[in-house]
Structure 1
Amino acid sequence: MKNNPVNCDQQGIIRPVANFSPSLWGDLFTSCSVDHSQVPECYAKEIDILKEKVRRMIVANDKKLQEKLILIDTIERLGLSYHFEKEIQEQLQLTFNGYFKLENDQENDDLFVTALQFRLLRQHAFDAPSCIFDKFTDNNGKFKENLKGDIKGLLSLYEASHLRYHGEAILDEGLIFSTTHLESIDNSSTFMGRQVRHALEQSLQRGIPRIEAHNFIAFYEEDESKDESLLRLAKLDFNLLQMLHKKELYEITRWWKELDLVSKLSYARDRVVECYFWTLGVYFEPQYSRARVMLAKTIAMISIIDDTYDSYGTLDELAIFTDAIERWDIKEIDKLPDYMKICYKALLDLYDHYDEELRQQGRSFALHYAKATMKEIIRSYNIEAKWFIEGYMPPFGDYMANGFITSTYYLLATTSFIGMNSATKEAFEWLMKKPKIQVANVTICRVIDDVATYEIEKKRGQTVTGIECYMNEYGVSEEEAMKEFNNIAENAWKDMNEEFVKIKDVSMEITKRIVNLARLIDVVYKHNQDGYTHPEKVLKPCINGLLVEYFKI
């Protein structure tokens, strides 16, 4: 349970007293002050001109491989690649096929270029071989000593190593080698030093693309070799998209305020802005506007339900609520306690609204999958609550099987698809089969969440945690259990990297959502902090950067 203090309600039932901090944001996002006419139109015209200029730069065939790779990487890091997906994919296909050649042996032995090429190819689902790093190792398979001073090369190797598969010992070694020597660099005041420090804090592969773009724009502005057209396009595009994102958040916060669940259900967390931030991590591009709104509302709703099961309801009440969700019929509402009626009606109303929207788009089939995963998570919440209230510690395997579902990531992956026009019935069917990439996704969510929340839950008397179950079953210490959970997460990342490249059943547009969900966990639970429940340190700066601050043009 999340709360220690208790009180006695009007029915004489002893319940926890909620002690979650209030929302950080007040009414900041409930007024939409953006001028949606002249300013975006002014931006849009210049953006179109600059986009055409950048498009010509990408497809120009007068560039060396190194120049081509740096250009593509810069465009991606600036958050602009969604404008040029076709062109970038075509250029990387040519690179993968060996169309572009390095000019001389010196470039061929350049660690920076080799690692950059490898990373870009794998990030775009090309199965680049890790043996290309063999030339940088000695007879013992260790990276050569003369690379220690190549900061640019080490940083490139560090980022590339985060895309490794199982069994790629050279990249396991590459990560250790690059991390060790980058951490020893004492020049954090320099431009390159600040980039190194940021990368060690947050690798590119596991970072949230929108946040990384925001950070890189600031870095790129200081780069003496910057392209002014690229920088201006990045700033204009970021600001224009931010206007759309604020408009969406306005819609969501108004909906949330009208529901008034926070005052009616005072035991629950008020985190609707953080819910919307989560959706920006999944997809920030303009074509996913409705998808973001639908996903954010679902996350806000499941957060309330989670707190109901985890922090408030009795076993009898939760059993009735679980059954009502299973039946999914407003007539069931009379069986529920008054506080649950509020939540139940809000949930059914929300999905009725989805149904109406999806029917208009000819995509009503998607709602079936959304409801199925909602029912699934409710059943698992009920099992978890029963374990805790009855003081039962399940076998670790049972805990994990149920915990994968209560992580919310089966639900959120499915819900992220419902507003995507490109998510066909086949894509949903593929996801329902729980493919390896999705299992890796929920594994990362489950174990990192468990590590981050363990100390707080232990202080509150929670015994049915993953760490406790593992310690109990395997007779290991807390430290050993924590270490194993981090190993499980690392192995899941390797699964994800490999599956992303090798999956052919669905498009990269689909699989990117799953990778992005995993990236959110790496950021939100950084340094074993629960950034969702306690957003002050972790998420507040991110939300300010993406939704409050803007770039001066």
Structure 2
Amino acid sequence: MSNISSSLPVSTNDAKPNPNFTRRTANYHPNVWGDYFLSYDTSFEETNDQNKQFQLLKEGLRKVLVSSTSKNFSFTLNFLDSIQRTGVSYHFQHEIDGVLLEIYEISTKDNNIIVLEDDLHQLALLFRLLRQQGYRILPNIFYKFKDQTGKFNERLANDIQGMMSLYEASQLRIHGEEILEEAYKFTHVQLTKSLTTQLSPFLATQVNHILGQALHKGIPRLEARHYISFYEEDPSRDENLLTFAKLDFNMLQKLHRKELSNVTKWWIKDLNVPTKLPFVRDRIVEGCIWTLGVYFEPQYSLARKIIIKIGSIIAIIDDLYDAYGTIDELEVFTNAIERWDICCLADLPEYMKFCYTTILDVFEEIEKEMKNQGKAYYIEYAKKEMKRLVQAQMTEARWLHCNHTPTINEYMQVATVSIGYPVLIIISFIGIEDTTEEILIWATSHPNIVIAAITISRLMDDIAGNEVHIR
């Protein structure tokens, strides 16, 4: 599939309506959290002394970071890595950009090839840090670690730290980089074998973790939590960084919990969705965790509130079309969304009136937030994607009603919209204060990176759903 069309198939010419169609329910399990997050205990807010300590540590770490390249190159690389892994790099992004630029200029030639000594850990770490930053670093440097047979030298397996660094560097390979493909296979095999030897508990825990979870594919907050535990056991740790990381993690966790409490109150108390729409999934907690994978930093609090509410709306729509609404009700609801007018309320059945007003109210709330920034018109981009989502859901409902089996091309054209990610992508940009209209125009023009992300998400979702169905 090379494109995601804005026009979706709306009818099936080779199928007949199913006369036995009845209202369905999916019997989703209740929210396992209940009302646990309904309240937020303000007694755990930070004290002035804690805030003062936090700021002093932050300034101290900033000074160490900006002066690190004049000290020891290896120290700088490891310090940068620890700052990023502990989840506090967002405090020092400007400084990190400058340090990595300086490192890039020192350690590479004009053709983006690293020029350094033969330390595997240092080279692999440098490669990963620069490539993560967007520098087009070539992997040729790793050929020096091969033996005369053209394979990676088996003696490298004794350097566990170097092997872990090379394994993580190889995760950033792109198509055609055979040396990194070989490095990935080699390090994966050797690190797996190392778990059967007498590794220290400290190293064994790290090896187990990186084999189970690629660093750049993990949820940042979870990865930070894991690494802080590792770092606490590291003899070479920086005590100030460790203390700062713990303070930062706890402060952010309190903010995230407060946000979760607010959205839980909105879902349970304000809307009363569990009672009014018992057929709908209640996955507010899971949705909040998903949102933290998009952005966790404190400056994106408003953006998280917006995206979790829209995500919850998408879940309602999905269950409405997939698990409850009749074909006639869904046709009326689809037309109402297309018109986007409160006057359409009179045409809807009672339970759909609640769904419809909730959608309109949430979008109106977002529009007011954007108006405060002088960007009220941004919401029109989100409305357009929401209409496409509902049209895609309606197409799938017609397929089911008419016993129509779509071709793979038909299916992917519709299913990559019905999954809801096109809406969420636009909403994730709208909530960021420095988003421009040019960004929204780009995101809605179906660029390749968006098409790829949505396609992968659709297929992963289908695979997971099929596995559940098979069980």
User: Same fold by TM-score, threshold 0.5 exceeded?
Assistant: yes
1:175 maps to 2:187 = no
Q: Tell me the amino acid that sits aligned with residue 406 of structure 2.
A: P
Partner of 2:70: 62
Which of 66, 80, 85 pairs up with 1:77?
85
Name the larger-Rg structure. Answer: 2
**RMSD of Structure 2 on Structure 1 (CA):** 2.1
Which of 199, 203, 218 pairs up with 2:210?
199
Written as runs of structure 1 = structure 2, the 5 A alignment for 1:477-492 is none
Residues 22 and 326 in structure 2, CA contact (< 8 A), matched pair in contact too:
no
Residues 188, 436 of structure 1: alpha-carbon distance in 2 compared, 3 angstrom cutoff: farther
Residues 320 and 336 in structure 1, CA contact (< 8 A), matched pair in contact too:
yes
Q: How far does residue 214 in structure 1 lie from its aligned partner after superposition?
A: 0.9
Partner of 2:366: 354
Q: How far does residue 117 in structure 1 lie from its aligned partner after superposition?
A: 1.0
Written as runs of structure 1 = structure 2, the 5 A alignment for 1:39-188 is 39-60=46-67, 61-98=69-106, 108-138=117-147, 141-185=150-194, 186=196, 187=198
Partner of 1:8: none
| Alpha-carbon distance in structure 2 between the residues aligned to 1:409 and 1:246 | 24
1:233 maps to 2:244 = yes
Residues 392 and 417 in structure 2, CA contact (< 8 A), matched pair in contact too:
yes
Residues 96 and 128 in structure 1, CA contact (< 8 A), matched pair in contact too:
no
Residues 410 and 442 in structure 1, CA contact (< 8 A), matched pair in contact too:
yes
Residues 64 and 100 in structure 1, CA contact (< 8 A), matched pair in contact too:
no
Partner of 1:254: 265
Residues 120 and 166 in structure 2, CA contact (< 8 A), matched pair in contact too:
yes
Q: How far does residue 333 in structure 1 lie from its aligned partner after superposition?
A: 1.4
Residues 188, 26 of structure 1: alpha-carbon distance in 2 compared, 3 angstrom cutoff: farther
Structure 2 segments unaligned to the other structure (5+ residues): 1-19
Residues 421, 136 of structure 1: alpha-carbon distance in 2 compared, 3 angstrom cutoff: same
SS at match of 1:15: coil
Q: Tell me the amino acid that sits aligned with residue 303 of structure 2.
A: A
Written as runs of structure 1 = structure 2, the 5 A alignment for 1:1-20 is 14-20=22-28
How high is the TM-score relative to the length of structure 2? 0.90
Deviation track 1:270-316 (CA, whole Å, cap 9, x = no partner) reads 11111111111111101001000111111111111111111111222
Q: Tell me the amino acid that sits aligned with residue 183 of structure 1.
A: T
Which of 392, 407, 430 pairs up with 2:404?
392
| Alpha-carbon distance in structure 2 between the residues aligned to 1:122 and 1:454 | 36
| Alpha-carbon distance in structure 2 between the residues aligned to 1:141 and 1:405 | 47
Moved more, 55-64 or 82-91: 55-64
Deviation track 1:179-212 (CA, whole Å, cap 9, x = no partner) reads 1111112257611111110111111011111110
1:211 maps to 2:219 = no
Residues 287 and 308 in structure 2, CA contact (< 8 A), matched pair in contact too:
yes
Q: Tell me the amino acid that sits aligned with residue 80 of structure 1.
A: V
| Alpha-carbon distance in structure 2 between the residues aligned to 1:70 and 1:42 | 30
Q: How far does residue 401 in structure 1 lie from its aligned partner after superposition?
A: 2.0
Q: Tell me the amino acid that sits aligned with residue 292 of structure 2.
A: L
| Alpha-carbon distance in structure 2 between the residues aligned to 1:118 and 1:386 | 51
Q: Tell me the amino acid that sits aligned with residue 251 of structure 2.
A: L
Partner of 1:190: 201
Which of 320, 327, 342 pairs up with 2:339?
327
Residues 315 and 386 in structure 1, CA contact (< 8 A), matched pair in contact too:
yes
Q: How far does residue 23 in structure 1 lie from its aligned partner after superposition?
A: 0.8
Partner of 2:294: 282
Q: Tell me the amino acid that sits aligned with residue 156 of structure 1.
A: S
Q: How far does residue 98 in structure 1 lie from its aligned partner after superposition?
A: 2.1
Q: Tell me the amino acid that sits aligned with residue 54 of structure 1.
A: L
1:430 maps to 2:442 = yes
Deviation track 1:221-265 (CA, whole Å, cap 9, x = no partner) reads 111111110000001111111121122112111111110112111
Which of 286, 302, 317 pairs up with 2:314?
302
Q: Tell me the amino acid that sits aligned with residue 142 of structure 2.
A: F
Q: How far does residue 42 in structure 1 lie from its aligned partner after superposition?
A: 3.0
Partner of 1:416: 428
Instruction: Work out which structure has the larger RCO, using CA pairs closer than 8 Å and 6 or more positions apart in sequence.
Output: 2
Moved more, 345-354 or 129-138: 129-138
SS at match of 1:279: helix
Q: How far does residue 35 in structure 1 lie from its aligned partner after superposition?
A: 3.0
